Structure 1
Amino acid sequence: MAQIKNYSKVFKNNSFAYTLTLLIYFLGSMGDSHAQEIISEEIQKTIGTRIDNGVNTGIVIGVIDGENVSYYSYGARSLNGNEPVNEKSVFEIGSISKTFTGLLLADMVLKNEVKLDDELQKYLPQGITAPVQNGETIKLVHLANHTSSLPRMPDNFSPSNPDNPFSDYSKERLYEFLNGYEPHRDIGSEYEYSNYGVGLLGHVLASRKGKSYEELLLERISKPLGLKETKITLSPKMRRKLAVGHSMGVEVSNWDFETLAGAGAIRSTAMDMVQFLKFNMGVDDSPLDEAMRLSHTNSRKEGAKPMVGLGWHLISADNDEVVWHNGGTGGYSTFIGFIKDGKKGVVVLSNSNASIDDIGLHLLNSKSPLKEVKPSIVIKIKKTIDAEGIEKAVATYWDLKNNNAEDYNFSENELENLAYSYFTSDKLKEALALTKLNTEAHPTSSSAFASYADVLLKQGDSLKAIENYKKAIVIHPDNQRAIKQLEELGINTETQVGDIKIDNSILESYVGRYELAPSFILSVRKDGNQIKAQATGQPEFPIYPKSENVFFLKVVEAQLTFNTDENGEVASVTLLQGGQEITGKRIENN
């Protein structure tokens, strides 16, 4: 029988993702980490620091090492109580739900109920027309691997309750958006992470069988695999074990999904998720084994990056392939991954929306770094706003940033998330001050200026909003949120973005390898009239010019600046992402 270890500590303190951050976090060479203790003291210390600093409320991890399973948990189910989290606690798993949707698709394909290359149009109600671009229409596989050309979220997503944003997004709205959408690129040509697309896939698969998404999930996956607490609707037993979600140290509502359930609606426990992983890894036999293998297989064209299966993301490193996904809702962050054809698998669940991806990646590969965790500045700022007002809070921010910068996390996302909480509560004075503060603290952030413009627009100051949307595009020319808003305000965005042409000889001069950090190399190559960049352990992405030596990525807000020496030779590259700058020396030319 497999050995199961359980490490638990009681914490007593009353005090959304694919996000995929593609350049700052990376997998290094997949070295042998089996010699180290499975759940090391370093990991335990990291988790303890995050919780003791108020970054996370509770964290549960499960590690599969061969046939052995180890659990470790630290923190509380709620800051208002002392009951600890453990492997039986219930969490929202967010976008990890997409791997279940991909598995449903694979199962239905193998049972000849649908085909991967079936056109979406085949499964739509009468009167609803799927988008067509240059004669190509969306297929089911495009929805599963994020190449449908559908956006991350539909533009008719306007929740009546921002604290539970998906609860009222109906099938009528889903079809209304689809019926009028015009793709901005060829279908199947590029990766663009789409909650809407996978939610649509889950909806049409369930409709095909005349069931709800949850009914299909229970019938095809949860019940056959014995995952008794992997479902959407909380049973009384699951509700008693629920780890309450938190954001910035405050309890938040659970998210309820209606039509887009396939994108992120599932709740589960670490025990169930470990069992799900064991089936996926082939450690235990499963009636869905063949469907799981299909869901792990790259579904994109050979050579296309990033690699995506059906719901799962795939990363190659040395001779290993990592299969993974992360998730996040308003009060939860999650990670699941395993080494394909190997014996290592990891689940990390937290009842806080602070990311825990680095813990999951590090557990899979000890060379993947753990983030240095500091308490978020917004916890201090929010308390100051509540007690003394926004003006005092802004003054406190600058005082701490100037005099105690090493003591807090001052990243742009921290302020943006806090501002959003006030924005959605119609506390526009606070939202305006915080978004303006973010532009001053992070003047190279396109997102910060777009958020500031959003608040200005809601206040009715359209002229100043336009000014700041334009600034957002200057910083990141593919900021779709800013582009869309400007177009709705009657501004021709083509004159903002431009169509910069760079001489081929100049592009050729940038080709080479740049060392951004030890074992973290950025490789740049030329492909026709396009240059592409690839970081260690990451997919390759095209980069686009803002000027002769400054380029940006479309998949994530990041910028590369090629620097020359006194002889005019390209000597280094500077990566700007998330308010951080990293300069890497050129170590190899073309």
Structure 2
Amino acid sequence: MNFVLKGAVVAAAVAIAAPVHAQDPVGYWQGTLDTGAGTLPIGVNIEGGGDGSLSGSIDSPSQQAFGIPVSNVEAAGDRLTFTVPAVGGSYEGEWQAEEKRWVGSWSQGGATFALSLTAGERPPRPAAASPRTLPADWDIPNEEEVAAVIQERLANRPGTGMVVGLVDGDDVQTIARGPSGAASFDADTLFEIGSMTKVFTGLLLADMAADGVVSLDDPVSKHLPAGATMPTRGGKQITLRNLSQQDSGLPRLPDNMVPGDASNPYADYSEQQLLDFLAGYELPRDIGSEYEYSNLGVGLLGYALARAAGSDYETLLRERILTPLGMDDTAIALSADQQARFAGGRDAFNRPTSAWDLPVLAGAGALRSTANDMLKFMRAALDPQSPISREMQLALADPREGPGFGAGLGWMILPAPSGTIVMHGGGTGGFRTHMALQPANNRAVVVLTNSAVDPGAQDIAFHLLAGGPVAEAGAVPQAAQQVQRDEIANLTEAQQDRVLGKWRLTPELAIDITRDGEQLYAAVTGQAALPIFARSPLAFFWRAANAEIVFTEQDGRITGGMFTQDGNSIPVTRAE
């Protein structure tokens, strides 16, 4: 997910000079966010109050979004942190005196990207991009205007289509545009909906809890196979509620997930691997203390609920949620007819790519659906008399605080001038989706597209529902040239030992290099350990990615190096 703004908000437009003191955060800072699918210039304006407090705003010029307020600005010693509630994002950086910049990471929607900020002058804003509030009296655009937004997004993306579903009171409509030169998409075209599946898993938990099959506060261990164990901390156990509200302390993905096919990364992850990971994992923080988006956690929730019911996830979901709503086109395993209507996905460089399979972690993102079915779902979610009304009430009843939003059971809950928004997005290797609902106005939007090129679906959904800005699509990024790297003969154990350990990319991102027998493995924070191979005693590369790490030595000791992936480089230092 890139830095997608959900609505620009008025903030002080004061020109601030470049910072003067090394650790002084006050001033205007500039950087470029590289998501792998493109780059976004970012500007951060931080102001100091008379009482020593800090405040400010953030700009995304290429998205014509300026003055979005930042919150919880803290600067202590060499560290700078802040959150951006309007986009559900946060930043953490560390001052590097020699480089005169904050080196850190931007986190949003469960993904983390490197972002360094250097001193700059706040640029003048173009007249067309003056600050604006998210309107309180927004009307959903008409069909012609929606079609124009879709067409602009697809203009430079051959092979890509988009379907938008809209609910505005009793008015329900679908606007679709298919790929040029291909069969047209319509309301019955199937898309992978990715992490929108998490909403269905949350409602399944609410439904089963309301029926007394499980309790929200059941320990997850209660629903695992005999002999299986869960990580604990401080005498406390992870509950089903913790998994759905994303505060279990489990990581985004298990570190023993080593895909045989990077284009279908979950396909060969097994139940036994899941249980092995849980048995050996040590929680880094107290359970319930902090929100951290985890595909592993919600996938585990779906697995545990299926075991509690003596069923499988898809059958259980169909019986309890999908069939009562008449959602016959929402499934994991597709029939021949559904497969014929399934949109082929396209990757972040607009190349055809494979569908994803999530056998054991299905609850995190395995569903496929259509605009017609999602309209049925959203109308039911808005209707206090629908078959899922009690589940919706329970799912939204007691949210925990997330980074700029409330986290219910599956849902993310955002304040907006025109009414609270409940939402969730989805992304797989070849699809981007987003649904957003405004219960107070009886409105909802779903956007489905068969492309992982960013920007994708989220900004359009928020524009149509609440008047947020639409990001400029720009050209499709070019895939980096694959570098041919050849492995040398096995290194000695002593040569391998020199590179073992943790290598810091940013304050939040590191590469942990370990050895199993003669094979070296490298795990980026929150990702699985993958084998790496030597092309020289100081250079190691990944076969599963277009990446390498080249170390430098001083006085015979390796102290740092450079990590490069797809042509982008980040220096690494040995973690203390």
How far residue 163 of structure 1 moved from its aligned partner, in angstroms, is 2.0
- The answer to whether the 8 A contact 2:165-2:175 is kept is yes
Q: Could you say if the C-alpha distance between residues 253 and 29 of structure 1 is closer, same or farther in structure 2, counting changes exceeding 3 Å?
A: same
CA contact (8 A) 2:165 2:172 kept: yes
Q: Report the CA distance between 1:377 and its aligned residue.
A: 3.1
Residue in structure 1 matched with residue 109 of structure 2 by the alignment? 18
Q: Is the 8 A contact 1:66 1:343 kept in 2?
A: yes
The 1:189/1:31 distance shift into structure 2, 3 A limit, reads same
The one-character-per-residue Cα deviations of 1:221-264 (angstroms, maximum 9, x if unpaired) are 11111001011110111111111111122211111121000000
* Structure 1 residue 486 displacement after superposition: 7.5
Matches within 5 A, 1:278-317: 278-282=379-383, 285-300=385-400, 306-317=405-416
Pairing partner for 1:356 from 453, 457, 463: 457
Match status 1:146 vs 2:236: no
> Deviation at 1:320?
2.2
Check 1:468–1:116 CA distance in 2 against 1; reply closer, same or farther (3 A cut).
closer
Give deviations 1:88-145, integer Å, cap 9, x for gaps: 1011100000000000000001001111111112112222111111222101100001
CA distance in 1, matches of 2:377, 2:191: 15
Which residue among 148, 152, 155 is the counterpart of 1:52? Answer: 155
Q: RMSD over aligned Cα, in angstroms?
A: 3.6
Provide the rounded CA distance (Å) in 1 between the counterparts of 2:306 and 2:132. 36
- Evaluate the alpha carbon distance shift between residue 315 and residue 185 of structure 1 in structure 2; reply closer, same or farther with a 3 A threshold: same
- Structure 1 counterpart of 2:484, one-letter code: K
Report whether the alignment pairs 1:249 with 2:350.
yes
- Is the contact made by 1:196 and 1:263 (CA closer than 8 Å) also made in structure 2? yes
CA contact under 8 A between 1:62 and 1:71: conserved in structure 2?
A: yes
| Aligned-partner SS, 2:393 | helix
Residue 140 (structure 2) pairs with residue 31 (structure 1): no
* CA 460–261 in structure 1, closer or farther in 2 if over 3 Å, else same: farther
Q: Secondary structure at the match of 1:484?
A: strand
Cα distance in 1 for partners of 2:264, 2:303 equals: 19
Equivalent of 1:87 in 187, 190, 193 = 187
Structure 2 CA distance for partners of 1:245 and 1:93, relative to 1, 3 Å? same
* Structure-2 separation of matches of 1:51 and 1:460: 52
For structure 1, the residue ranges without an aligned partner over 5 or more in a row are 1-16, 382-389, 391-421, 423-427, 433-454, 494-577, 580-590
SS at match of 2:203: helix
Residue 477 of structure 1 is matched in structure 2 by 507
What are the equivalent positions in structure 2 for 1:169-188 lying under 5 Å apart? 169-188=269-288
Contact 1:141/1:299 (<8 A) preserved: no
SS at match of 2:436: strand
d(CA) in 2 for partners of 1:347 and 1:98? 15
In the TM superposition, 1:310-459 aligns within 5 A as 310-318=409-417, 320-354=419-453, 355-366=456-467, 368-378=468-478, 390=481, 429=484
2:220 matches 1:109: no
Aligned to 1:129: 229
Q: Mapping of 1:524-535 within 5 angstroms?
A: none
**Cα distance, 1:177–1:467 mapped onto 2, change above 3 Å:** closer
Q: Could you say what secondary structure the match of 2:166 adopts? A: strand
1:61 to 164, 169, 178: 164
Contact 2:404 2:414 in 1 (8 A): no
CA distance change for structure 1 residues 110 and 370 in 2, over 3 Å: closer, same or farther? Answer: same
Tell me: CA distance 1:72–1:459, structure 2 relative to 1, closer, same or farther (3 Å). farther
Contact between 1:97 and 1:262, CA under 8 Å: does it hold in 2? yes
Question: TM-score when scaled to structure 1?
Answer: 0.61
Shift of 1:349: 0.2
What is the distance in 1 between the residues matched to 2:251 and 2:365? 16
Q: Once the two structures are superposed, what CA deviation does each residue of 1:280-315 show, in whole Å capped at 9, x if it has no partner?
A: 0117x42221012211234327x9864111111111
Do the aligned partners of 1:316 and 1:322 also contact (CA within 8 Å) in 2?
yes
SS for the counterpart of 2:512 is: helix
With over 3 angstroms needed to count, the CA separation of the structure-2 counterparts of 1:460 and 1:240, relative to structure 1, is farther
Alpha-carbon separation, structure 1, partners of 2:284 and 2:194: 27
Contact 1:346 1:363 in 2 (8 A): yes
Alignment partner, residue 545 of structure 1: none
Residue type at the aligned position of 2:156: N
Query: Are residues 103 and 27 of structure 1, via their aligned partners in 2, closer, same or farther at CA, if it must alter by over 3 Å?
Result: farther
Equivalent residue of 2:400, what SS? coil
Q: Distance in 2 between matches of 1:464 and 1:52?
A: 51
2:355 partner amino acid: N
Cα distance in 1 for partners of 2:492, 2:423 equals 43
Looking at structure 2, the residues matched to 226 and 361 of structure 1 have their Cα atoms a distance apart, in angstroms, of 27
For 2:136, give the aligned amino acid: G
Mapped partners of 1:200, 1:46: distance in 2: 37
- Where 2:478 maps in the other structure, the secondary structure is helix
Rounded Cα–Cα distance in structure 1 between residues aligned with 2:241 and 2:412: 14
Change (3 A) 1:256 1:490: closer
More strand by share: 2
CA distance in 2, matches of 1:186, 1:356: 34
2:361 paired with 1:260? yes
How much does 1:316 deviate?
1.5
What TM-score do the two structures reach when normalised by structure 2? 0.63
Instruction: Give, as a single letter, the amino acid of the residue that structure 2 aligns with 1:275.
Output: K
Call closer, same or farther: CA 1:319–1:118 in 2, change over 3 Å. Answer: farther
Residue 170 of structure 1, CA deviation: 1.1
Q: Helix, strand or coil: the match of 1:172?
A: helix
The answer (yes or no) to whether the contact 1:30–1:320 under 8 Å persists in 2 is: no
Choose 310-319 or 461-470, whichever is displaced more.
Answer: 461-470
Retained in 1: the 8 A contact 2:192–2:366? yes
Give me the identity figure in percent: 38
Asked whether the 8 Å contact 1:246–1:331 carries over to 2, the reply is yes
CA–CA distance in structure 1, aligned partners of residues 521 and 355 of structure 2: 38
Q: CA deviation at 1:341?
A: 2.9
By how many angstroms is 1:466 displaced? 5.7
Q: Which amino acid is the alignment partner of residue 75 of structure 1?
A: G
Closer, same or farther in 2 for the Cα pair 1:184/1:363, shift >3 Å? same
Q: Distance in 2 between matches of 1:223 and 1:172?
A: 31
Higher helix proportion (structure 1 or 2): 1
The answer to whether structure 1 residue 196 and structure 2 residue 296 are counterparts is: yes
Give the SS at the match of 1:50.
helix
Secondary structure of 1:106's counterpart equals helix
The corresponding residue for 1:503 is none
Contact 2:194 2:428 in 1 (8 A): yes
Q: Distance in 2 between matches of 1:459 and 1:185?
A: 37
